[in-house]
Amino acid sequence: MTTQTAVATNKVTLTINGQAVTVEKGTLLIEAAKQAGVDVPHFCYHPKLKPDANCRMCLVEIEKAPKLQTSCNMPVAEGMVVHTDSPKVAEARAGVLEFILANHPLDCPICDKGGECHLQDEAHAYTPNYSRFQEPKRFFEKEYFGPLIDKEMTRCVQCLRCVRYCDEIVDSRALGSRDRGSLLQIGGLVNRELDCEFCGGCIQICPVGALTSRVAMYDYRPWQLKKIETICPHCADGCRLKVESRDNVALRITSDAGRGRNAGDLCAKGYFGFDVINRDDRLKKPLVRKARTLVETSWFEATALVAERFAAIKAQHGGGAIGGIISAHASNEDLYLFQKFMRLVMGSPHVDSTARYGHHNTIAALRDVVGHGRMTASYEDIDQAQAIVVIGADLTETNPIVGYRVKHAARNRGAALVTVGRYGANHGSFVSNLVNRATHALTTAPGQERAVVLGLIKAVVESGRVEPALAAASPAYVRRLSALAGRLAWADLEARAGLSRAAIEAAAAAYTGAERAVILFGRDVVRSSGAVDTIRLIADLAILAGKLTTPGCGVNPLCDEANEQGAVELGVAPEYLPGLIPVSDDAGRRRLAAAWKDEAPSGAGWTLMEMLDQARAGRLKALYLVGEDPLGDLPASAKVREALGNLELLVCQDAFRGPSAELAHVCLPAASFAEKEGSWTNHEGRVQKGKQALDAVGEAETDAAIFSEIARAMGYPLDYADPREILAEAVRVAPALATKGASVHPGTVDPATLAGYLSSGFERDVERRFALGPAAKASAEHPYRLTLIRSLFRSGALTGRSAALAKAPHQGTLLVHPDDAAALGVAGGATVRLRSAQGSAEVMVRISPKARPGQVLFPEHYAEAVRDLAPIDVDPATKVPIFREASVAIETVSQPMSRVREMS
Amino acid sequence: MPTYEKILLKNMDTPGYTGDLAAYERAGGYQAIRKVLKEHKPEQVIEIVKKSGLRGRGGAGFPTGTKWSFIPKDPSRPKYLCVNADESEPGTFKDRQLIDRDPHQMLEGALIAAYAIGAKVAYIYVRGEFALGAQILERAIAEARARGYIGKHVFGSGVDIDVWVHRGAGAYICGEETALLESIEGKRGLPRAKPPFPAINGLYQQPTVVNNVETLANLPHIIARGPEWYAAIGTLKSPGMRIFSVSGHVKRPGNYEVPLGIPLRELIDEHAGGVRDGHRIKAIIPGGASAAFFTPEHLDVKLDFESIAQAGSMLGSGGVTVMDETVCMVWAAYNLMGFFHHESCGKCTPCREGSSWLHHILHRIEHGEGRDEDLAQMERLCGNIAGKTVCAFGDAEVAPVLSTLKHFRHEYEAHIRERQCPMGEHVGATHASPLPG
Ligand SMILES: Cc1cc2nc3c(=O)[nH]c(=O)nc-3n(C[C@H](O)[C@H](O)[C@H](O)COP(=O)(O)O)c2cc1C
Ligand code: SF4
Ligand code: SF4
Ligand code: SF4
Ligand code: FES
């Protein structure tokens, strides 16, 4: 009964154009009309943004109201009687449109928005075919809005959607309106080069052609474009986007508002990074090495050669002399088929993916806690969280869409935001930074994220916030962990974390005090030493606080690459068969053998790093690289060149000729993500399907097709009619992968696994993970700690080739804290030499408090010499290579020109 | 000439009055707030002000006590008082005098208002050009703070009220209350779409009252002498004294404090000394640049909210501008439209585009390039602006155009017919040069 009245009072009934409509209380009139099938014309309103009611296009008549009201910001009220098409409304609407059109240039024939322009549509529907405006039209000088955006202010309808998007969704606030009245225009507060996140959102949300992309300016008319939906390959956020092309050339990327896990938002890589597909230097034909140079050849010859060489090596040394590594950008279909190919056709257990660079640590830590390595809370849970703890992740740079959601929760829903990591606040930057929004910024030295997590656990235990039901159900677990936490001294934790006990306790209270609380952790945890222990501690924190399985709560691992999740779950790892079944699990092996009608080789295979070691040792004779380029990814200390140079056969299959290709015997041209149908599993665990948007360039083929081709040539056909058939088989052998529909979160915690963990599993390494370990000693010779961070504009070899992304400003610079810059006597723009035990590199300095004192930050994939500064260390258990930190000395090489002038 | 007991201008018109704290206290200042803190609960203060019938002096004339009563009582939300000292309405200069000559009177009023609505912080938003006024206010606040009148435990009570000066940067629109709030928040001063209203979501999204300087200056007197005393001054619906800023072609331009409801004629002829010798009145703007023009026929209209509205204009900011027969009405409308075009913030379509369009048409007519269809066109455009904008600026900008078209249509027609201004080189005449935007 009570619920019924509650429901009844939450609904409002009103009349729109004579039709009764019942909607949720608080619904905006314009949305209520939409629900009633009535479209109210509008410009400034956008469901994503807070209403601003500036265009006045959506005026409607509400009976009893003294004047017309804007329906975009008017909440419905019981009994309201609304007319959206009365003569008064029609007159007002025509008046508004007349005003908008008065100064509009009507240069539709040369406007890139022509044909999909909101103003064209509304003008077509609501204005007479003549104009009464006979004054000189207002005119703005043409300006480019930075390197990637075209600004045509004569076309602007001043709806401020772009400004509001940039503020409310991206939290960049790079845009504003400048000047007044009819001279109002969009720009920065001061006229400066745009240096924002370049997400393209302002372009997409502009209802007219005032902001357009410079990447394909004047190259198309929208109606000429073929639009195909697929999944972005650049990170694990898993954005749905549309590749729009003409004559098989991708001309732009778009996304539909509200669609996909990204709800229609994108980041710079997704929006601007597509130009790589069209590059001239794509591999278009197979290459084979003849007389030391790679020469083009036919597929027939290349496949025959590859098959013959693999077969010969297999015959002479056994399948165990052959290894295969695939990129975790690949689709599920390509990944699945690759491990099947390696295991059955090559007869090799040595198959791995680039998920080895990080996600394996998460899997190793969480597989026996929650049953998998997926996010246990969905994106929607992040939206609704009252507290969010982000550990070791700079979401703006690594996972921008998850970042939008976290910022939204913190800014617009008032969620507490705890950041644990090595980054400082840099208010005033036009690239957002979670720390700037943190209610509790637990900023610590590199590698001390674990000390902070231990502090949080201790605070939860000591404040009596351990979930009471847990203490009753799993007393041994709670007792043991409480005792271990009790053993830690606050003084030690404070010293290690560089934070006060009070700050840690306050953050812990914010976390435990929230009913819906989500923890996210990212690469600074996952890709650093001791990751497994830290991740388990993060799980312990959530479990103790009762926030692992409670609805709306969870622990969310973040992945860098688009399909690390799929790569591991589909068995592209020497230790796992498809479905995360350990290779040592005999029952699992038998089930797989029944499905495959063949046996996968038994015994432990080699991981990525071990394959390189074995190649150097001469035991691995052949290596098949698919989309992965270890020479490009790993530092010199990994001795990749020596490893690859020692192989009898190196096959590189990729869309481009990367550094490793220089040592390859055969290069096979692979289709890009846009050129194939397939599915990708994002870090939530959602398997998302994409369609083929383009024909592959030249003679490039999809990875799966190439595997089938080689398999057939080797006399072991692996033939499938299409990618769907591959996925169907993958789901059959690993049922956990089946999608359960859009509404079911795929990452729920497996109760049996958790029960096992709480009864005894937790004991594994528990002493070690609760110990602080030896403190890092500062080196007098190399006093600064360098972290290789990830850049929003370049996350790997593929985005590194984007000419568009390269245009964003301030990239590839060393971030130095202002105090350090002062101590070193360097100005922004100066060139310095970094020196580590491994070598030295020259870089340009950018001063930013985002780098904390004593620490410097440099993005990966910008300078090999900087990458080579890092020593490499391999996690003994998970074999994940750790190479993103180094101790360095900094010496000034030269000051920027302006500074030189100042000093002389 | 009828004389009235001055209330707001009384101190400053006393010879030797310096306006500092000691002088104000010698004149009986800061007793009302003491009384309020000692004797009244906030709700009682609101009741008193309601009973006095005080209406806002900023322009809209909204009953002050009623406005305060919209503030939610929820103790968990901070509340703010914002003092609107942006006074930018052309022809209006009363707040400036109240600030410069008797700052403590207004400060005392602000303390009373802040106490009544439960605000611990008040911001005084001062027009950017009032550099002197801002200094005077800062000094007055420092004096009061030093005495414990502002800050923690004001007057030894349990109440904290802090007062800060926030200077504007020269935009007329920042006098509009929600643009003012945006500006205090450090954002660009653009009016907000309402609802929500400031009383619910105002400064920093918290309950906020915005009151004009003159409105607040009345409060100490209402408290000291009682609401009944106050309500007896002026008319039934428009009680109290009002400061009119009289300017233009009168002999004694200046601020005059008179009871609401006296005839316009009395204000101009008796107090301001009448129109300059040898000239006659042609038009009067009775309530700031946003008010519709009156003609000599309106001289007997009473200066209270209702009577003026009934006669087709508004009391507005209390700025009364008198024009004699040397002023070209097309030029006057053109001049005012220039102001509105320049000051339109540009946020909403009808005002942004309409102010520019109207300005262009008036520019043409005044410079001999008018067309027959222009007058109907302007009326139509005004109809598409008024009542359709985000803030009341839209209604303001059409008032001069529509009223001059109504009362002085023949002047427009002459301009168009003769292809020039029939008055030739009149005051302010400019030569045709292209307009910006
Ligand atoms: C365009 C515009 C400009 C305004 N400028 C002022 C101003 O300069 N001073 C002022 O007190 N009120 C001004 N107002 C009125 C305020 O919005 C608000 O109504 C007033 O400050 C409320 O105070 P009151 O209730 O004490 O009158 C302006 C309103 C508009 C629409
Ligand atoms: S640039 Fe586009 S989105 Fe931005 S205000 Fe102008 S029309 Fe609106
Ligand atoms: S890189 Fe990640 S966040 Fe950016 S568009 Fe692609 S999937 Fe989305
Ligand atoms: S009416 Fe004019 S001043 Fe007011 S919001 Fe609209 S554009 Fe700005
Ligand atoms: S859509 Fe409502 S005012 Fe713009």
* Separation of alpha carbons A400 and A807, rounded Å: 19
Domain contains B433 = no
Q: Which residues of A754-791 are buried (b: 16+ CB within 10 A; e: fewer)?
A: beebbeebbeeebeebbebeeeeeeeeebebbbbbbbb
Residues B289, B271 within the same domain? yes
Please count the residues of chain A: 904
Residues B152, B28 within the same domain? yes
Task: Give the pLDDT confidence of A128-164 residue by residue, as tens digits.
Answer: 888 899 999 998 988 888 899 999 999 999 999 999 9
Residues A578, A625 within the same domain? yes
- Which pair of structure tokens corresponds to residue A259? 């669609």
**pLDDT above 90: percentage of residues in chain A:** 92
Phi then psi for residue A828, to 5 deg, are -60, 135
Residues A412, A534 within the same domain? yes
Instruction: Write the Ramachandran bin of A698: left for phi over 0, alpha for psi from -120 to 50, otherwise beta.
Output: left
* Separation of alpha carbons B396 and A771, rounded Å: 72
Confidence of residue A736 (pLDDT cuts 50, 70, 90): confident
Domain that holds residue A37: 2-102
Q: Which residues of A496-506 are buried (b: 16+ CB within 10 A; e: fewer)?
A: bbebebebbbb
Which of A54, A101, A166 to mutate against chain B (most B CBs within 10 Å)? A54
Q: Given an 8 Å threshold on Cβ–Cβ distance, is B360 in contact with A135? A: yes
User: Which residue in chain B is spatially nearest to A65 when comparing CA positions?
Assistant: B387
Q: Which residue type does A177 have?
A: S
Gap from CA of B61 to ligand 1 centroid (Å): 9
Residues A270, A184 within the same domain? yes
Which domain-ending residue is among B183, B210, B231?
B231
Domain count, chain B: 3
Gap from B164 CA to chain A (nearest CA, Å): 25
Residues of B in contact with A53 (CB under 8 A): 193, 348, 390
A99: nearest CB among B193, B384, B436: B384
Count CB-CB contacts under 10 A for residue B398: 29
Domain contains B140 = yes
Domain contains A39 = yes
Q: Where are the alpha helices (DSSP H) in A110-243?
A: 118-126, 161-168, 201-205
Residues B74, B210 within the same domain? yes
**Residue at token pair 């109210």:** A40
| Residues with Cβ within 8 Å of residue A461, at least 6 apart in sequence | A481, A482, A485, A486, A544
Q: Is A344 helix (H, G, I), strand (E, B) or coil?
A: helix
* Separation of alpha carbons A895 and A903, rounded Å: 10
Confidence of residue A2 (pLDDT cuts 50, 70, 90): very low
Residues A366, A450 within the same domain? yes
Q: Check residue A900 and give its pLDDT.
A: 52
Give the CATH number for residue B216. 3.40.50.11540
* Separation of alpha carbons A320 and A623, rounded Å: 11
Query: What is the layout of strands, in order, in the sheet containing B80-85?
Result: B162-167, B121-126, B80-85, B208-212
Confidence of residue A774 (pLDDT cuts 50, 70, 90): confident
Domain contains B88 = yes
Which domain-ending residue is among A494, A529, A558?
A558
Instruction: With a cut of 50, say whether residue A102 has pLDDT above it.
Output: yes
Residues A881, A803 within the same domain? yes
Q: Given an 8 Å threshold on Cβ–Cβ distance, is B388 in contact with A59? A: yes
Q: Check residue B437 and give its pLDDT.
A: 67
Helix (H) or strand (E) holding B242: strand B241-248
Task: Give the pLDDT confidence of A269-291 residue by residue, as tens digits.
Answer: 999 999 999 999 999 999 999 98
Confidence of residue A904 (pLDDT cuts 50, 70, 90): very low
Q: Given an 8 Å threshold on Cβ–Cβ distance, is B384 in contact with A52? A: no
Phi then psi for residue A703, to 5 deg, are -55, -45
Gap from CA of B350 to ligand 4 centroid (Å): 8
Angle at A872 between CA A866 and CA A873, to 5 degrees: 150
Q: Check residue A3 and give its pLDDT.
A: 39
Model pTM score? 0.95
Rounding to the nearest 10 degrees, give the CA dihedral for residues B202, B207, B212, B217: -160
User: Which residue in chain B is spatially nearest to A180 when comparing CA positions?
Assistant: B345
Residues A448, A550 within the same domain? yes
Task: Give the pLDDT confidence of B351-408 residue by residue, as tens digits.
Answer: 999 999 999 999 999 999 999 999 999 999 999 999 999 999 999 999 999 999 999 9
**What would the DSSP string read from start to end of A354-417?**
GGGGTHHHHHHHHHHHHSSSS-SS-HHHHHH-SEEEEES--HHHH-HHHHHHHHHHHHHS--EE
Q: Given an 8 Å threshold on Cβ–Cβ distance, is A98 in contact with B384? A: yes
Ligand 4 atom nearest to B355, measured from its CA: 2
Q: Check residue A1 and give its pLDDT.
A: 36
**What are the Cα distances from residue A395, in Å, to A390, A406, A414, A561?**
9, 9, 19, 13
Ligand 1 atom nearest to B179, measured from its CA: 17
Domain that holds residue B274: 241-324
Phi then psi for residue A33, to 5 deg, are -60, -45
Residues B271, B376 within the same domain? no
Residues B203, B123 within the same domain? yes
Asked if residues A400 and A792 have their Cβ atoms less than 8 Å apart, the reply is: yes
Instruction: With a cut of 50, say whether residue A604 has pLDDT above it.
Output: yes
Phi then psi for residue B124, to 5 deg, are -105, 115
Q: Given an 8 Å threshold on Cβ–Cβ distance, is A157 in contact with B349? A: yes
Residues B72, B200 within the same domain? yes
Regions of chain B short of the pLDDT cut 50: none
Domain count, chain A: 5
Gap from CA of B175 to ligand 1 centroid (Å): 5
Gap from CA of A588 to ligand 3 centroid (Å): 35
Pocket of ligand 1 contains residue B57 by CB under 6 Å: yes
Task: Give the pLDDT confidence of A422-433 residue by residue, as tens digits.
Answer: 999 999 899 999
Residues A184, A224 within the same domain? yes
Q: Check residue B433 and give its pLDDT.
A: 66
Residues of A in contact with B334 (CB under 8 A): none
Q: Given an 8 Å threshold on Cβ–Cβ distance, is A56 in contact with B349? A: yes
**Residue at token pair 């996972």:** A399
Instruction: With a cut of 60, say whether residue A734 has pLDDT above it.
Output: yes
Q: Where are the alpha helices (DSSP H) in B40-150?
A: 42-52, 64-69, 94-101, 103-117, 131-146
Which domain-ending residue is among A278, A307, A328?
A278
* Separation of alpha carbons A557 and A362, rounded Å: 7
Q: Check residue A594 and give its pLDDT.
A: 95
Domain contains A757 = no
Domain contains A773 = no
- Among the ranges given (A341-350, A536-545, A739-748), the one the predictor scored with the smallest mean pLDDT: A739-748
**What are the Cα distances from residue B37, in Å, to A389, B75, B163?**
46, 19, 17
Which of A44, A56, A60, A89 to mutate against chain B (most B CBs within 10 Å)? A56
What is the 3 state secondary structure string of A150-163? EECHHHCCCCCHHH
Residues B225, B115 within the same domain? yes
A56: nearest CB among B173, B341, B348: B348
**Residue B6 burial (CB < 10 Å; 0-12/13-18/19+)?**
middle
Residues A576, A676 within the same domain? yes
Task: Give the pLDDT confidence of A370-420 residue by residue, as tens digits.
Answer: 999 999 999 999 999 999 999 999 999 999 999 999 999 999 999 999 999
A70: nearest CB among B193, B341, B357: B193
Asked if residues A319 and A602 have their Cβ atoms less than 8 Å apart, the reply is: no
Give the CATH number for residue A261. 3.30.70.20
Residues B64, B182 within the same domain? yes
Asked if residues A529 and A398 have their Cβ atoms less than 8 Å apart, the reply is: no
* Separation of alpha carbons A841 and A821, rounded Å: 18
Domain contains A126 = no
Of A261, A54, A39, A30, nearest to A161 by C-alpha is: A54
Pocket of ligand 4 contains residue B286 by CB under 6 Å: no
Q: Is B211 helix (H, G, I), strand (E, B) or coil?
A: strand
Residues A400, A542 within the same domain? yes
Pocket of ligand 2 contains residue A615 by CB under 6 Å: no
Domain contains A650 = yes
User: Which residue in chain B is spatially nearest to A44 when comparing CA positions?
Assistant: B348
* Separation of alpha carbons A898 and A829, rounded Å: 9
| Mean pLDDT for chain A overall | 95
Residues A28, A114 within the same domain? no
How, if at all, do strands B241-248 and A143-145 pair?
A: unpaired
* Separation of alpha carbons A69 and B66, rounded Å: 24
- Which pair of structure tokens corresponds to residue A411? 């800014």
Residues A808, A720 within the same domain? no
Q: Given an 8 Å threshold on Cβ–Cβ distance, is B193 in contact with A132? A: no
Rg (CA), chain B: 22
Domain contains A777 = no
Count CB-CB contacts under 10 A for residue B159: 18
Which domain-ending residue is among B209, B231, B253?
B231
Q: Given an 8 Å threshold on Cβ–Cβ distance, is A158 in contact with B347? A: yes
Give the CATH number for residue B277. 3.10.20.600
Domain contains B1 = no
User: Which residue in chain B is spatially nearest to A54 when comparing CA positions?
Assistant: B348
Gap from CA of B214 to ligand 1 centroid (Å): 11
Residues A236, A294 within the same domain? no
How, if at all, do strands A322-326 and A293-296 pair?
A: unpaired
Gap from CA of B290 to ligand 3 centroid (Å): 52
Asked if residues A675 and A645 have their Cβ atoms less than 8 Å apart, the reply is: no
Strand-pairing partners, residue A211, are A151
Domain contains A750 = no
Which of B76, B192, B340, B352 to mutate against chain A (most A CBs within 10 Å)? B352
